[in-house]
C-alpha cells in the first residue's frame, strides 16, 4: 500500500532532525532518498572511516541514530511510520525503508525525546562529581530495552578502572598506527565554518574520560547479534539512550577506541562477563553545556533514484 504524502517543508524539517545524530568524528555517514510515501536511509560509504571503522559498523550505528531522530520527529507530527531495516549484501547501501502512514496520535515520551534532539551533544569535558540518581539510570536502561537492546551499567570504581585501562590500551594502539593518525587529522578541523569533522579543541583524551570514582557511570550498549541489521538497531537504541539522558538533564560522551578494535571488544565482553555484543561504550553524568558541532546542509545528504530491495526486519 502506498505511503501517505508528506509535504516538502515537513520532510525538510524531519530530515533536519535526523542529521543531528552523532557520528564518529562527525563524519555524518548518512544519505536520504525521498520518494513518494516515504524515504530511504542509506550508508554513505565515502564517509566510512577506512582505518577506525573498517567494516562500517560504527557508520551503520550512526545511521541508525539518524533513523531514530527521523522516526521520532515524524511521530511527533502525528504521521504514522513503518520502518523496515534492510542492510544485507543484496541491498548494498540501503539500510532502512521508512514509509509514511495514516495520521497517528503521538505520545508524551515521543515529544520529550524530539525536544531533546537539538539539545543533545557529545560532552568530552570532565563531568561533575555528582552521580546520576537511580530513576535516571532506570530510564536509560529502559530506553535501550525499548529498541530491543541492552544497556549494561558499570558504576563501581574497580569496573570503571578496568574499562579505563582497556580504553587507554586501545587508544595507544590506534595512535601507534600512522594510517589512523592521518585519518584523525583528516577529520579534525580548525575551520569555524566547517560543516563536518571535529574541532581541534574538542579532540578527546580517551584515557582521562573514565575517572576512578564512584560518581562516574559507564554504559555498554549490547545487541544479541552482530549483523549489519543489529548494528543499525544499536544506533536506534543508542540515540534513544542519549536523548533520554539529555531529557533527564544528563550528558554523555563516547569511549570509542574500546569498540573500534575487535580484540578490545572481545576483551571488554570477557572482562565484564556479559552476554551480547558491545556496540557502543559511553560515559554518562552531569556536565557543563558545550557547543554542538556543525552539520552539512540537507541538500548535501539527499539522493534520488534509489532502487528498492527486499527487506529483512520490521521495526514499528
Q: How many CB atoms lie within 10 A of CB 178?
A: 9
Instruction: Take residue 81 and report the three cell numbers written for it.
Output: 511510520
Average pLDDT, the chain: 89
Quote the CA–CA distance of 236 and 234 in Å, as a whole number.
5
Q: Which pLDDT does position 216 carry in this prediction?
A: 80
Residue 44 has a pLDDT of: 96
pLDDT at 4: 63
Domains of the chain: 8-118+295-315 (3.40.109.10), 121-285 (3.40.109.10)
CA dihedral 262, 280, 54, 19 (to 10 degrees): 180
* E strand or H helix at 70: helix 57-76
Q: Check pLDDT > 60 for residue 268.
A: yes
Cell numbers of 182, please? 592521518
The pLDDT value given to residue 207:
40
Express each pLDDT in 185-219 by its tens digit. 999 988 878 899 988 876 554 444 444 444 489 99
The residue assigned the cell 529502559 is 142
pLDDT at 254 over 70: yes
Residue 262, pLDDT score: 94
For 145, the grid coordinates are 530495552
Name the band, by pLDDT with cuts 50, 70 and 90, for residue 315. low
Q: Of 67-76, 166-175, 201-210, which gets the smallest average pLDDT?
A: 201-210
Q: So what's the pLDDT on residue 316?
A: 53
70-74, 112-116, 125-129, 133-137: range with lowest mean pLDDT: 125-129
Tell me what pLDDT residue 91 has: 61
Q: 221 pLDDT exceeds 90?
A: yes
Tell me if 240 sits within 8 A of 144, measured CB to CB: yes
In angstroms, the CA 12 to CA 28 distance is 17
Instruction: Look at phi and psi of residue 71 and say left if phi exceeds 0, alpha if psi is from -120 to 50, else beta.
Output: alpha
Cβ neighbours, 10 Å, residue 313:
17
Query: In the predicted model, is pLDDT for residue 310 greater than 60?
Result: no
Q: What is the mean pLDDT of residues 266-287?
A: 95
Percent of the chain with pLDDT over 90: 74
pLDDT in tens, 76-128: 999 999 999 987 665 669 999 999 998 888 899 999 999 999 999 998 888 89
| Sequence-distant (≥ 6) Cβ neighbours of residue 85 within 8 angstroms | 95, 96, 229, 232, 233, 311, 312, 313, 314, 315
| Distance between CA atoms of residues 243 and 238, nearest Å | 9
Alpha carbon distance 171, 154 (integer Å): 20
Provide the 10 A C-beta neighbour count for residue 8: 8
Residue 192: the pLDDT is 78
Residue 194 CA to residue 243 CA, distance in Å, equals: 25
Q: State the first-to-last Cα distance of the chain, in angstroms, to the nearest integer.
A: 16
The pLDDT score that the predictor gives to residue 2 is: 52
More confident residue, 209 or 245: 245
Nearest by Cα to 234 from 140, 301, 149, 151: 149
pLDDT tens per residue across span 52-65: 999 999 999 999 99
Half-sphere exposure of residue 294: CA atoms within 13 angstroms, side-chain side: 15
Amino acid at each position: 500500500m502506498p505511503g501517505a504524502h508528506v509535504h516538502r517543508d515537513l520532510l525538510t524539517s524531519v530530515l533536519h532532525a535526523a542529521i543531528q545524530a552523532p557520528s564518529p568524528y562527525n563524519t555524518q555517514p548518512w544519505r536520504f532518498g525521498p520518494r513518494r510515501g516515504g524515504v530511504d536511509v542509506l550508508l554513505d560509504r565515502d564517509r566510512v572511516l577506512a582505518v577506525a571503522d573498517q567494516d562500517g559498523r560504527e557508520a551503520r550505528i550512526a545511521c541508525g541514530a539518524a533513523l531514530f531522530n527521523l522516526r521520532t520527529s515524524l511521530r511527533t507530527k502525528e504521521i504514522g511510520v513503518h520502518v523496515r531495516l534492510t542492510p544485507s549484501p543484496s541491498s548494498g547501501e540501503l539500510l532502512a525503508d521508512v514509509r509514511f502512514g495514516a495520521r497517528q496520535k503521538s505520545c508524551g515520551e515521543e515529544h520529550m525525546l524530539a525536544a531533546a534532539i537539538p539539545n543533545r551533544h557529545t560532552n568530552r569535558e570532565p563531568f561533575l562529581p555528582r552521580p546520576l540518581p537511580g530513576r535516571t539510570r532506570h530510564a536509560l536502561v529502559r530506553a535501550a530495552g525499548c529498541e530491543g537492546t541492552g544497556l549494561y551499567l558499570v558504576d563501581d570504581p574497580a569496573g570503571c578502572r578496568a574499562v579505563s585501562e582497556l580504553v587507554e590500551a586501545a587508544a595507544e594502539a590506534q595512535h601507534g598506527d600512522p594510517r589512523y593518525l592521518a585519518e584523525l587529522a583528516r577529520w579534525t578541523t580548525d575551520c569555524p565554518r566547517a560543516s563536518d569533522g571535529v574541532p581541534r579543541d574538542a579532540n578527546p583524551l580517551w584515557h582521562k574520560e573514565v575517572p576512578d570514582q564512584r560518581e562516574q557511570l559507564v554504559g555498554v550498549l549490547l545487541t544479541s547479534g552482530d549483523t549489519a541489521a543489529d548494528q543499525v538497531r544499536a544506533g536506534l537504541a543508542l540515540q534513544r539512550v542519549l536523548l533520554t539522558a539529555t531529557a533527564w538533564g544528563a550528558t554523555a560522551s563516547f569511549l570509542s577506541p574500546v569498540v573500534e578494535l575487535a580484540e578490545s571488544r572481545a576483551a571488554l565482553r570477557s572482562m565484564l562477563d556479559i552476554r551480547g555484543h558491545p556496540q557502543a561504550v559511553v560515559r554518562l553524568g552531569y556536565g557543563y553545556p558545550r557547543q554542538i558541532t556543525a552539520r552539512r546542509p540537507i541538500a548535501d545528504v539527499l539522493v534520488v533514484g534509489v532502487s528498492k530491495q527486499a527487506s529483512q526486519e520490521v521495526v514499528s
